[in-house]
Structure 1
Amino acid sequence: MADDLTVDRTPGFKVGEKKTLDEYQKLDQEDEALNRWKASLGIGIAQGQSISDPNDPRLCIIKSLALEVEGRPDITIDLTQPGALESLKGKPFTIKEGSTYQMKAVFVVQHQVLSGLKYIQSVKRKGIRVGKDQEMIGSYAPNTVDKPTHTKKFAPEEAPSGMMARGHYEAVSRFVDDDDVTHLKFEWSFDIAKDWK
């Protein structure tokens, strides 16, 4: 399933040169458009406000994932809890056929700018791939005391419907950046059913 989680690349796109936060802050300070872009990332904040943990080398920490469905309580997986990832595959959750839902990720960036974070998901049913999705999450500066986490809601999706769509599905998901660094990879499963359980 490794090939199923390969990033779909735009032809001709090249990843930019890595820079430190200090280098970004000093970069073309007179360029208004670049300054707006840096501000959108949170670059320009006082370095002392960063909440980066010097004992944790990770650049991106996915704190939680949630499935949001209008009119229903969110299904939230707290990934800071021991065994949370391991339980995802063995304990499928149910999605009602034809319902519209969206995923939400809460994460922390630390140490340096995170460039081009993406979510890739491959779904199989009875061993045959039935779908692959890729969602661009974006680029982010390290979190600060004022903004301790980032939240990204993914595009809404509609669950398949009909007798043929109902059943058990298995998925593998990966959070990866422009440098092809995998920040989180996990297996999980879900059931499409006639109604919510």
Structure 2
Amino acid sequence: MSDQVHDHELQPEATEGFKVGEKKTIDEYQKLDANDESLRKWKESLGIGSGTSVSDPNDARKVVILSLGLEVEGRPDIIIDLKQPGAVDKLKDQPFTIKEGSTFRMKAIFRVQHQVLSGLKYLQVAKRMGMSDKMQEMIGSYSPNTTDKPTYEKKFEPQTAPTGMIARGHYNAVSKFVDDDNETHLKFEWSFDIKKDW
């Protein structure tokens, strides 16, 4: 049995009846119904109109994932700085070690550029001995970062590593960040080992 993850396994779950809204520029959002108090509060909650944009005109990406981290209670955080050249490519060959039964969670620090980002999600498929486990985490919708808020941080829901002799071993995983338009912003392969101890 293959532990390779295929593209069809990394498709986000669809919400029945949900339809992606019409895309608007930041200027269009700022001018939208200027006299509507509830809309003004919604735009403020997204951060539209506050601070100076930190979008890089030479970088066309809408989302820039700056770092990924693994938090485990009682242990130092493992942080992968994705700004370093080749950092994503090294993930597959440098597995994380997770103690069986331990509670951990992932986190991401990222920047949004150029336009409002709708429905960013994190998808992950992990495989071992032909068995696969898929998870999906909703991250949310964000306006482009500003000098007032230069980055966003998302801490994922805590997970508990499986236990027992069958659960221990090496896992291959593929993850991606995708939005409501089904645009993939980052996709990477990585691996981890579940062990009896650290």
TM-score range, shorter chain: over 0.9
Mapped to 2, the partners of 1:156 and 1:162 lie a distance apart of 20
Which residue number corresponds to residue 77 of structure 1? Answer: 80
Cα contact 2:117–2:141 (8 A) shared by 1: yes
1:145 paired to 2:147: yes
- 1:29 counterpart (7, 25, 34): 34
**How many residues were matched structurally?**
193
Which residue number corresponds to residue 124 of structure 1? Answer: 127
Which residue number corresponds to residue 13 of structure 1? Answer: 18
Deviations along 1:118-147, one digit per CA (max 9) or x if unpaired, are: 000011102332x10111101111111121
The amino acid across from 1:61 in the alignment is V
Mapped to 2, the partners of 1:155 and 1:35 lie a distance apart of 31
Mapped to 2, the partners of 1:67 and 1:77 lie a distance apart of 9
**TM-score, length basis structure 2:** 0.94
Mapped to 1, the partners of 2:76 and 2:45 lie a distance apart of 31
- 2:57 counterpart (54, 59, 80): 54
- 1:186 counterpart (185, 188, 195): 188
Which residue number corresponds to residue 135 of structure 1? Answer: 137
- 1:169 counterpart (160, 168, 171): 171
SS in 1 for 2:43: helix
The amino acid across from 1:42 in the alignment is G
- 2:46 counterpart (31, 41, 45): 41
Runs of 4+ in 1 over 6 A off after TM superposition: none
Mapped to 2, the partners of 1:15 and 1:195 lie a distance apart of 45
SS in 2 for 1:39: helix
Mapped to 2, the partners of 1:40 and 1:95 lie a distance apart of 37
Cα contact 2:50–2:148 (8 A) shared by 1: no
SS in 2 for 1:144: coil
Residue 26 of structure 1 deviates from its aligned partner by 1.8
SS in 1 for 2:41: helix
Residue 103 of structure 1 deviates from its aligned partner by 0.5
Which residue number corresponds to residue 3 of structure 2? Answer: none
Unaligned runs of 5+ in 2: 1-5
SS in 2 for 1:3: helix
Mapped to 2, the partners of 1:128 and 1:103 lie a distance apart of 22
Mapped to 2, the partners of 1:125 and 1:31 lie a distance apart of 53
Mapped to 1, the partners of 2:35 and 2:160 lie a distance apart of 45
